[in-house]
Each structure stands twice: as structure tokens, then as C-alpha cells.
Structure 1
Amino acid sequence: MEHTGNTDLRTEADAVLARLVGDDTGTARLREDQWRAIEALVADRRRALVVQRTGWGKSAVYFVATSLLRSRGSGPTVIVSPLLALMRNQVETAARAGIRARTINSSNVEEWDTIQGEIDAGGVDVLLVSPERLNNPDFRDQILPKLAAATGLLVVDEAHCISDWGHDFRPDYRRLRTMLGDLSPGIPVLATTATANARVTADIAEQLGTGGTSDALVLRGPLDRESLRLGVLRLPDAAHRMAWLADHLDELPGSGIVYTLTVAAAEEVTAFLRQRGHPVASYTGKSENADRQQAEEDLLANRVKALVATSALGMGFDKPDLGFVVHLGSPSSPIAYYQQVGRAGRGVEHAEVLLLPGPEDEAIWEYFASLAFPPEEVVRRTLDVLARADRPLSLPALEPLVELRRSRLESMLKVLDVDGAVRRVKGGWIATGRPWTYDAERYDRVARQRRAEQQAMREYAATTTCRMEFLQRQLDDETAGPCGRCDNCAGARFTADLSPAALQAARADLGRAGVEVEPRRMWPTGLAAVGVDLKGRIPAGEQAAPGRALGRLSDIGWGNRLRPMLAPQAPDGPVPEDVARAVVEVLADWAKGPGGWASGAADAQPRPVGVVTVASRSRPRLIGSLGAHIAQVGRLPLLGCVEYAGDVPRIARSNSAQRLKALDGALTVPPGLAAALAATPGPVLLVDDYTDTGWTLAVAARLLRRAGARAVLPLVLAIQG
């Protein structure tokens, strides 16, 4: 119920909204729940959690509240926001209402002191901060306390990132606990998200300090998006899906987003659609910042029909007239799917949303699931290493001492930091010595929840009932009911029809074999700490040359063929005929390409004098038959095999230093192979099944070069990337 005396506040709030949306008539009015949130923040100085669908107007709540609070003498609003794209949009939006916004993030460190001076002088109304800044020692120790003391409103945008139950958990968000604890009494707090089910909502509320307090206001609205027309189209394989998209992309309204599950797939699809005459651009986590920003601007200005994107283009991209979202491959979570499709139809009456699931989806889900919080023994080992260190350990210094890749190690340390077990300081990380408990039960529950979400996505694709209702129920929306618009409610709007020409082109594109394998040129840092006497640049005379792979395990062309063949549980056997033929094509293209031994160029590589394989306990028949086939077709001698000196070392998915520690002294060039290399000096082809980090190839190449090989040319079936 509206408080007595707040009528004038409501009038003032509506006037700010009119300026924010550019309404010169002054007729703009806040939604009732928008007003309830603003009233709670401004009049009552409460904490509020707003769970509302994308496009509902959550940003209007915090910008209007900011304007009202600032006019009443409050300090600046601090918005914790996950993506630079969102920050750029928010700064522009705030300016329309006369709100002065600045950002602090990793791309403008040189401006931090200036911005802090502007804040001190009262010249900043809104400060947008990336969550990663909250865990930076300089920011945490010098800037954060000042912000907490001066803040008039704290906003946590995309608040589902706080919860490890959510689809996009980010450990840096946990640092908000510190800022919340340092806020002066009576400072209002607003958390917003569009993608939180009941469990995630409760977790957010608890972690923000709003759970279980009578002062908390939780506003949850209906999540149906009246403009979205959901559909699923099942097609036989990746070639049919790409061909269908090439044939039908122009039929989709306006401009939009084509989501893929991997970077490799995004790049493949972008290249193919361009070949078919479509103006599209790629947008992934591996794109340069300038390229991503240009792609965003091109889509906003409708200069491209679509961005072909990974989940890197998710939260924070605001284009109200986005006409469609197509998924080539299914996300592993209905909540993540809802969040991504919610980019469409915010300012148009109708937007098309189409899912084209693929057989490779589940293997990709499994890979990302393997990156969850590490097992207890790995965590304990890390804490022990830090406890025994006489100085802070940086990530490069710590990485060789634990069996984790750097990104996963950093994520784990951020969780431990929030839990109080470690602390990030200048120079690296230290152990605090505080007791810490591994919450195995919680991590197991999260893993079970992930599996349940995957099952839900299978059911979403197969359901004959309303698709929007299905997603709403996954988000615990009590208003869920048939939408009347999806393919199950209103009939399919798209058929599986596609042209033979597009299908032939897609098959040719996906069937094109050959990916360059970049050799390792530098040893990783920190090898001395694990007893390996290697450092710096690998001498030119010991390096592998650039090699070739048939395909990437993450792509939707040869990756789909190779992935099951190279899976850990796959049976060993001779190389399949189609794979063998494709490898020969790769070899022929390599030989005739720039610098190839059959290119006729002045700088051409000498022709290989033989074939060498890498020993394998798991796939000896596959690698042996592949090497023999290459030798036979290329009319080259099969010189021998780089063998293991003893037991095959266990080389888990770990960091570079740990892999080299396992490989150190494990590989050997047997006397027969050494004699063959001495008798026939020249380049050799080094054949293996696949490469992940490239270190097995690097170590084997070093041994072969030392044994007399003039050059080592790696040739593998697949690369992991």
C-alpha cells in the first residue's frame, strides 16, 4: 500500500522516468512494482530483491531511485554489473535523465584516481563497478572502504551470479558481503535479476543479507514474455542445421542473435553464413574487445543480420527491437536458455525464438560440468602450499604446485577468499590459517541440480505442451500457463525444408579437413618448483614445427565425428576409412600449401623422410594403424615409436607445469628409432591421436630433434580447442 505523504514522491519519480525514456509528453508512468521498489528504497531505505523478466524495466528502478536519493542529499549509487557492454549502455541511458555515470573496470585503471576525485567532489551520481574489481587488492583496500562510506544506494545487477545454484555463478560477486557489511546503517540495497528460480532467489536473498529479515522486500513478477514465439526444430545433423539457417535467415524478422555452444562453432557458422551472402559477425570470449564492441554497435545499428555468438553475449546487451534468437545447440540449463532468449522482443510485438538441438550438445555439457569446484584433496593441497610459503604466491607461482589450470585455480581461490581461508594481497595469495570446511554436501547438491537442469532441457526440446509455460515452471513462476504463441500452442511456423544447394555447401564446409596446430615455443614458468630443469624459450633446434589436425573436438564438423571416437570410454581399433581418407587430404593440402614440401616455393620445407608415432596405452591400434596408413600412402618408412620409459604417467586435465612434470623423463626415443633417424636425416611426421595443451608433442619433438631429426611435423586427428 502507498505510504501517506508519498504521492508527491510518486509524481517526482514519474517525472524522472519520463526524462529517462525521452518522453516529452510527460505521460510515462512507472509500473506498480517499479514504484513499490523505488518507494522501499527511497522512502523506507530498505533492501529489495527484484526478480522480473528481461525488458520489464529493472534499470529504471535504480536510475529513478538514484535521482530521487541524490536530490535528497544521498551519496552516489554504486552498481555492481558483470559486463562492459551493460556498462556502456547504462552510462548512455543515465545521461538522458541528467544522471552523471562513470565506470571503474580493468580497462580504465589510469582513470581511477580521477574518478575517485570526482566522487569526492560530488560530481558522480552513479558508479558502475565490475565484480572483478571487488577482489582486486588495491581496489578492495583503498577504494572500496571509501565507496562503502559514501554510497547512497548499492545495486547488484544480474544478482543470480551470486548463487552457485545459478547458471552463471561468479565467485567475485561473493565479495559483496564485505561491502554490505561496511555500509552505513539505513543505506538501501537493490538486487535485480531476470533468471532466478525459487532456490536461487532464496540464496541471493540470504547472501545479500535480505533473507529472513522483516525489512526485506522481494518483488517477483510473471516471467511470460508476450512477444516471444518459441519453437524447436529437429534436423538430422550439423550440415542440415547450418543449411537451414542459411536458407531461412532472411525470413526471420529484423536482426538478431544466433547462439552456439562453443567458440569453434561460432567461427564455423559465421564463415559459412558469410559465404552464403549473409552479413553476420562473430562474437565470442576470444574476440578482441574492440571487435566485440564493433559487433555490438553493428547489431544495434542493424548493419548486420545477426551476431553469431557464444554465451559471452548474454547479460547486459540491450537492443529492444531484436527480432530473433536462434540456438544452434541447446544450453544445458532452462534458466540460461530463458536468459538468452530474453534478449529478443523487448520493444517489438513479435520475435522468433528457435532451438535447433544437436547430438554434440551433451558432450559439451559434460565438458563444462567437469570445470566445477575442485575435489577436496586438490583444495587442501592448495591451502597447504600457501600455508608453507614464506611469501605471497602469484597465480603463475602457485599453478605449478597444484593440479589445476589457471582459470579454475583462480576461481577456486576467490571462493576460498570469501570463505576466509585465503586472502589476496599485493604479490599474490596467502593462507589465513582460519579453519575451513569443504562443503561436499552442497557441491554434490549443485552437481545434482546441474544434471536435473540438463534433463529439463531434453524435456523442453521434446515436450508437446506449451514451451513458455515449461520455462516459467522451471523458474518457479506461479503465473505459468499456456502462452498460445509457441509451436505447440499455435502450430509450427517453420518447416525443415532446405535447398539442396545449401545442404551441399554446408556438407562441403563442415567436411573440409585441416586445422593448424601451433607448436609450443616457451616452457611454462615455475618448472623449477616441481623439479623440472627447463625454462625460457625452447631452443629453435628443439621445437616442433607448425603441425596439422583433422579437426577440433569442439567444432560441429569433424568434431562431431571425432568426439565419440576419442572419448575416454571409446574402444580402441584401426583408424576408420573415412577418417584415414580425410587425414590424407589434410596431408596433401599441407604439402601443397605455403611452405609445404610439395609447394615448389623457394622456402619450402624438405619432404619428410619418415613417420614416427607416439606410444599409447589407451589407443595403440588407432595410432599404430594411422601411422602405418600415412606411411603407406605417403610412400614413407615407418621409422618407429616414441615410447614411454616406464608406466604411462597419469596426465589429468591440469596445468602446463603439472603436465610437464608427469612427462619429464617419461618419454624416450628407443635405440632402433634413434638409429633410423641417424641413418635418414631430415624432417619426420609425428603422429598422435589428439593434442590438448601441446606438451606431449613438444616433449616428443625435443627428443626427436636431439636424436637427429631435422624437423618434426606433428599430425594429429584432433585438437581440444
Structure 2
Amino acid sequence: MTSATTDLRADAEALLRELAGPAARLRDDQWLAIEALVVHRRRALVVQRTGWGKSAVYFISAKLLRARGHGPTVIVSPLLALMRNQVDSAQRAGVRAATINSGNMTEWDEIHQRIADREVDVLLVSPERLNNPDFRDQVLPSLAADAGLVVVDEAHCVSDWGHDFRPDYRRIRTLIAELGDGIPVLATTATANDRVVADVSAQLGVGGTETLVLRGGLERESLSLSVVRIDEATKRAAWLGQRLSSLPGSGIIYTLTVSAARELAELLTEQGHAVAAYTGQTETAEREQLESDLLGNRVKALVATSALGMGFDKPDLGFVVHLGAPSSPISYYQQVGRAGRSTDRAEVVLLPGHEDRQIWSYFASVAFPREPVVRRVLAVLDPERPQSTQALEPLVELNRSRLEMVLKVLDVDGAVRRVRGGWIGTGQPWEYDAPRYERLEQARTAEQQAMIDYQSTSMCRMEFLRRQLDDPLLTDAPAPCGRCDTCTGATVDTSVDDDAVTRTRARLDRPGVDLAPRKQWPTGLSKLGISLSGKITDGPETGRVIGRLSDLGWGPRLRSLLDAPDGPIPDAVVDAAIRVLAAWDWEVRPASVVALESETRPQLVASLASRLAEVGRLTDLGVLHRTPGHPPVSAANSAYRVAGLVGGWTAPDLAAVEGPILLVSDVTDTGWTLTVAARELRSAGADGVLPFALASVS
């Protein structure tokens, strides 16, 4: 080692102490990465477990490069929580950091000016910003030419083989290809198996540059892994409520859906636990406060979806509980890795449910669409006139989120381009990589099976997870962790106090969820021959459902009911419907009821309407039948769906019917079926329509 290198390492050690405290020392691979970036100006991929110190590598490298006269470091970071933690870390090391993301739009112009004035050492940007036309065309070129270092954090998002692939991350390959000579690149992640490592390495090495891969072991000596099997969802929630206070410190309780997070947080709060819900729908300011509350141990737990995941740094997090299993061991390991970074022991508990597979199936249904659908997107794009996603939506059979995803992938592939005002077609040839998408689907299926196998394995659970992530330090005959339930033979007590179950069931059995009406017709209906636009003035009023299919309490029962063969409505469900109607704060009570014809459950829906008419002394108007010969509607896209629904029912003359009509259905998803059916009833003379469904999808 030369004297210059020795001095550089001493500088790096000093910066690490500023970041992590006076006792901190660089790991060998940390130094190898810093040396590769600062001295040799290389491209490197660091795959190390959570808490290893990956952020120290890029902050120290950024400071050292800046001291040597190089430009600012650009860090592409996927989550707002991660950015906030990183900015705080940077400031501890004297690094001037700024971030551009969806939560600080009012500061963008000021930050752009600070970059131009060389007052920023580190700029953190969200991947979505890389394809914003103004940022891409005005800010990014100068950064790409003058950057001292480019960092891709949570780099598994680059690869569609990763557990959290994001189309915007594909833009990074283009950014790397356009970098000036000698600008080093660092990619970091804690969760990458062999396939993801190879994919990310290849993308970093675009242009023939070799990528240095520094990959460590994934053993987590502090984690005590266990699986608790309780068949009934209500009992699982009651068990958690009974055990929560005994779990060490504060922690995170993960759920698979937003509604489950909210419902569980409400339940635990009513039981006296200091918890709060944290989801992708939580406002930015509230997220910051909730993160602060957890960091300061002012709450026992945050009940969260995967929105609280990558990069959230609380070294003394005492536990992670999953109420419902994630769809892959890789994403599971990523989430449980939040716990026990600086503690001797942290509890990790998985409470799987029968409904998990149905939720996985739903999320899998939003994968990359089939080739004819993608070709249709390309066909409707204009090469010169930009079209917004909103304008394109009525022209293709994709909902907006999937359309956005397809456009981003096509953009990176060069077939479309995002410009001011929307998207244009480039006319470049494009190939649908069917074999790759088929392999992806197979990989996802294998991951789901592995997660099911994890629940019943007799193998050491830590070894199982390490094998799934292709841990390079895992031997053929590894020593068992000695902490998990399979290693210790410990049997978790799954008993639940009867009173606790009763109270939990009473809370979760409380039926009734508001069903907000659609307020605006989809744009572009005129292109499909439908003369509807603007505000909806002849639709339904606010409706109600018994529960959501993702609810902890009513969800399993409603799914079971809807999966069963068609038949008369069970008494217990009628009782729940009556409770919902009794608590409904309507302005005018309905005087009549009509069943919306169901193709799959005609007997179920008709019998529910009939029973409600009998109990509520409502006039039974029978069934609102589909118009003969009207084609079924399967489109997920709002405009196509509305176009297919208009004229879909034959309503009787309702001019003589007084008061609102209760419109009964089985399941509502987008809300368009009930909206258009209500419009048909209003057109036939109904004074008003109050929708009521057994279940909503979300």
C-alpha cells in the first residue's frame, strides 16, 4: 500500500468515525469499495446484509472525491424514508446533501440553483425524476458530465428478476451509458440472489466496463426466526394483540394490504397499544412523524405495508411481525432485516394465513401485459403530438398504473419517449421478449412456493433464507443458527384467551364500509362513441359494503362465500347486511330494492335483495337484468369499462316509484358497474340510488 493510499484510508477512517462513532472501523470490503471508487474510478456492486454499512461507503467516497475537486455525487434512491435517513447520515459526516423527490416539489428550483452554484456535495433523486423531461433534459446532462460519483441504492430494483423491480430504475442504464469518462459507479443492495447480481452487474458494465462485485454473507446473528400457525384470521389478530406488549422494544408489524394495516392498527389501538398505520397512502408529513415516533420509541409498533421498508434505519428495532406472508423469501428477508442491527436479539415472527395466496395472485395479475396489448399502446401513440397517460387510457385496455408501467418500459427500450405534455412514439423497432416474461412468471411462481416451503421447513430458517438468496458464504453443511424455532425445537404457545378472541371478533365482525361514489367520468369516452364527460350528476349516492375482501375479519368469510357455488344468501350474512343498513346515515331511507343481475351468483344476489325487502319492508323490484345480447365487460381500463357498461341493463319504468332505490350487488371493484347501473335506474325515473354490495375488492 502506497503512502498516498495509506493517507486516503486514514481519511476514510476519520470520516467513518464522524458517521458512526469513535469506535467505528472500516470493514475490509468497505475499504476495497472506497478504494475502487476513489482511486481506481471503477464500477462496483456491493451486496451486503442490512446494517453492514453500505451507506458509509458512498458517503465517505463522496466526501473524499469532493475534497479532490470532483463533482457532486448523485444517489438514486427509491423511497422517501430512505432519502430522509440518508440526508441525516450525510450531515453527520459534514456532507452537504439535498434531495429531489415528490415530497419537496416547492424546493426543486432552489436545489437546482444550489447544484449549479456547486453548493451540493450529494444529490439524492428518486428514479421517477430521471425520466422527468425537464430534469432529464436540463439537469441530468450536466450531472452526468460532471458527477464525481453515481450511486444506485437498492440496486435490486434495477433488475426485473428482483423482488421489487421498478420500471423507472431501467432509466439508470441509460444514465450510466451517458456518463463522462472515469466517473465511478456504485450499486448497493442487501437482497440479491445470483440471477439479480448477474443482471445488475451487466447493467453497470454497459459499454464493456468490468464491474467489481463485493458480496458478503447474509447471516444475521441477532434474529430469532419463528412461524406461528393459527388457522383463523380473527385468532391471529387476537394472539398478536395479546403478545404485542411482551415483544422486545419497538418494532414493525407488516400486513399485505393497506386495508389490513388500517384495520389492525385500529384494533390494537382500541386494545390500548400505542401503534399507528403506515402505508403507501399515508401523507408525506405524517410518514415523517410516524418514522420519528418509531425511532424515538414513542410507539410500540407501526402497522405497515411494504411502504416502510428499504432504508428505514432503526438499529435497535426489537421485532418484526408479519401478519400474512410476503410472496417471496427474498422480500421477506429484506423486511425482517430491519430488526436487530445493534441488539443481541430481535424477534421475527411470521403469522401466515390461507388468504395470502389470493393476495399474491392479485398482485401477480398486474404484471407486464401480453404482446397484443403492448402493440396496441404503440399503435395509438403519435410520433409528433404528445399524449398524456390520461388521454391514452381510453385508447387501450389497460388501467392507468399498468399503462404507466408499460410506457416506462417502452421508453427505456427506445420505442417511446416522454416529453413535455406526455408521450410520443419514436418509430423505432421493438421486440416483445416473450421468453423473458415467461421465465419471470416461472420465477415468481417458484418464489411463492419457496415462501410456502419456508413455513413448514424442518431446516434452520436462517439457512433456508440464506439459500434462497444464494449466500456466497453458505457452506454445504452450515452450522444451524441455534436461535430459530426449528433449531431450538421451541413450540410457540398459540393459545389465545377466550375473552380476547371474543373482543377481537366483535371488533372485526363490525360490518360496514363506506363506498364513495365516482365523481368524474373517464376522459376520452367520446373517442369510444360515448357522449359522457365531466362531473357525474346522475350517478349513485354514497354506498356501503359489508367489508373488503382484504379485511382481517370479514375478508376471509366474504371470500369463502364468493368462492362457494351459487346459492341462497346465508342468514349470518343477511344479519350483517341488516346491521350495515341500520347504521347507514342516509338522508332519505330507501323505499324499494332491486338486485343487480350477476352472471356468476344470480341466486345469491337475488335472495339477498329479497331478504332485505322482507326485513326492511321495502318494495321488491326484482332483478335489474342485463340487456339481451349485450357483451360481457372485462376491461380493467376505466374508459373501456364504462363504454362497455353503457346500455347494459334493461330498467323498468320507475316513474311511479317513490324515494331512493337500494341497488344490491355482490362485489364491487372499480365502482363503474354500480355507477352506470345507477345512471340507468335514474334515467328510468328513480329519485336516487343507494348502492349496497356484499364486498369490495379494496
Structure 2 SS opposite 1:155: strand
Give the match for residue 338 of structure 1: 333
Give the match for residue 632 of structure 2: 650
Structure 2 SS opposite 1:678: coil
| Candidates 656, 667, 678, aligned match of 1:690 | 667
Counterparts in 2 of 1:625-644, with a 5 A limit?
625-644=607-626
Structure 1 SS opposite 2:467: helix
Determine if contact 1:611/1:685 at 8 Å carries over to the other structure: yes
Deviation at 1:410, TM superposition (A): 0.3
CA distance in 2, matches of 1:628, 1:469: 57
Structure 1 SS opposite 2:691: strand
CA distance in 2, matches of 1:465, 1:384: 52
Deviation at 1:609, TM superposition (A): 2.0
Give the match for residue 496 of structure 1: 494
Determine if contact 2:176/2:206 at 8 Å carries over to the other structure: no
Amino acid at match of 1:487: D
Deviation at 1:276, TM superposition (A): 0.5
Give the match for residue 560 of structure 1: 556
CA distance in 1, matches of 2:430, 2:89: 44
Determine if contact 1:74/1:152 at 8 Å carries over to the other structure: yes
Once the two structures are superposed, residues 669-698 of structure 1 have per-residue CA deviations (whole angstroms, 9 ceiling, x without a partner) of 1xxx31xx3333221111111111111111
Give the match for residue 133 of structure 1: 129
Deviates more, 1:192-201 or 1:554-563: 554-563
Structure 1 SS opposite 2:546: strand
Determine if contact 2:317/2:338 at 8 Å carries over to the other structure: yes
Give the match for residue 197 of structure 1: 193
Gaps of 5+ in 2: none
CA distance in 1, matches of 2:460, 2:208: 35
CA distance in 1, matches of 2:245, 2:87: 33
Determine if contact 2:216/2:472 at 8 Å carries over to the other structure: no
Structure 2 SS opposite 1:217: strand
In the alignment, structure 1 residue 478 sits paired with structure 2 residue 472: yes
| Candidates 158, 170, 180, aligned match of 2:176 | 180
Determine if contact 1:258/1:306 at 8 Å carries over to the other structure: yes
| Candidates 594, 614, 620, aligned match of 2:596 | 614
In the alignment, structure 1 residue 121 sits paired with structure 2 residue 117: yes
Deviation at 1:493, TM superposition (A): 6.7
Determine if contact 2:384/2:424 at 8 Å carries over to the other structure: no
Determine if contact 1:284/1:311 at 8 Å carries over to the other structure: yes
Gaps of 5+ in 1: 597-603
CA distance in 1, matches of 2:529, 2:294: 52
Give the match for residue 511 of structure 1: 509
In the alignment, structure 1 residue 668 sits paired with structure 2 residue 650: yes
Deviation at 1:475, TM superposition (A): 0.2
Determine if contact 2:238/2:501 at 8 Å carries over to the other structure: yes
Once the two structures are superposed, residues 70-117 of structure 1 have per-residue CA deviations (whole angstroms, 9 ceiling, x without a partner) of 111111111000011111111111111111111112233343333233
CA distance in 2, matches of 1:250, 1:179: 48
CA distance in 1, matches of 2:61, 2:200: 21
Structure 1 SS opposite 2:451: helix
| Identical-residue share of aligned pairs (%) | 63
CA distance in 1, matches of 2:493, 2:206: 48
Aligned CA distance change for structure 1 residues 272 and 653 (closer, same or farther; 3 Å): farther
| Candidates 120, 135, 153, aligned match of 1:157 | 153
CA distance in 2, matches of 1:17, 1:608: 69
Once the two structures are superposed, residues 205-231 of structure 1 have per-residue CA deviations (whole angstroms, 9 ceiling, x without a partner) of 112226975x32101100011111100
Deviation at 1:653, TM superposition (A): 5.1
| Candidates 414, 437, 449, aligned match of 2:431 | 437
| Candidates 690, 695, 698, aligned match of 1:718 | 695
Deviation at 1:3, TM superposition (A): 6.5
In the alignment, structure 1 residue 353 sits paired with structure 2 residue 330: no
The alignment yields a C-alpha RMSD, in angstroms, of 1.5
Give the match for residue 325 of structure 1: 320
Deviation at 1:627, TM superposition (A): 1.3
In the alignment, structure 1 residue 581 sits paired with structure 2 residue 579: no
Counterparts in 2 of 1:274-353, with a 5 A limit?
274-353=269-348
Determine if contact 1:419/1:436 at 8 Å carries over to the other structure: yes
Deviation at 1:531, TM superposition (A): 1.3
Report how many residues are paired. Answer: 694
Give the match for residue 601 of structure 1: none
Question: TM-score when scaled to structure 2?
Answer: 0.97
CA distance in 2, matches of 1:617, 1:442: 36
Deviation at 1:584, TM superposition (A): 2.0
Once the two structures are superposed, residues 119-142 of structure 1 have per-residue CA deviations (whole angstroms, 9 ceiling, x without a partner) of 233221111011010011111111
Determine if contact 1:163/1:169 at 8 Å carries over to the other structure: yes
CA distance in 1, matches of 2:434, 2:216: 34
Give the match for residue 538 of structure 1: 536
Deviates more, 1:464-473 or 1:89-98: 89-98
Give the match for residue 68 of structure 1: 64
| Candidates 420, 427, 434, aligned match of 1:426 | 420
| Candidates 133, 141, 148, aligned match of 1:145 | 141
Question: TM-score when scaled to structure 1?
Answer: 0.94
Amino acid at match of 2:169: Y
Aligned CA distance change for structure 1 residues 653 and 221 (closer, same or farther; 3 Å): farther
Determine if contact 2:665/2:692 at 8 Å carries over to the other structure: yes
Determine if contact 2:394/2:524 at 8 Å carries over to the other structure: yes
Determine if contact 1:260/1:327 at 8 Å carries over to the other structure: yes
Deviation at 1:667, TM superposition (A): 2.0
Deviation at 1:68, TM superposition (A): 1.2
CA distance in 2, matches of 1:511, 1:117: 56
Give the match for residue 599 of structure 1: none
Give the match for residue 222 of structure 1: 217
Determine if contact 2:130/2:136 at 8 Å carries over to the other structure: yes
Amino acid at match of 1:417: D
Determine if contact 2:144/2:175 at 8 Å carries over to the other structure: yes
Moved over 4 A (4+): 2-5, 210-213
Deviation at 1:706, TM superposition (A): 2.1
Give the match for residue 600 of structure 1: none
In the alignment, structure 1 residue 708 sits paired with structure 2 residue 685: yes
Deviation at 1:304, TM superposition (A): 0.2
Structure 1 SS opposite 2:423: strand
Deviation at 1:465, TM superposition (A): 1.4
Determine if contact 2:103/2:284 at 8 Å carries over to the other structure: no
Amino acid at match of 1:20: L
Determine if contact 2:204/2:211 at 8 Å carries over to the other structure: no
Structure 1 SS opposite 2:593: strand
| Candidates 515, 521, 524, aligned match of 1:523 | 521
In the alignment, structure 1 residue 453 sits paired with structure 2 residue 447: yes
Amino acid at match of 2:179: L
Give the match for residue 7 of structure 1: 6
CA distance in 1, matches of 2:401, 2:68: 44
Deviation at 1:4, TM superposition (A): 7.3
Determine if contact 2:659/2:686 at 8 Å carries over to the other structure: yes
Deviation at 1:234, TM superposition (A): 0.4
Structure 1 SS opposite 2:195: helix
CA distance in 1, matches of 2:398, 2:133: 23
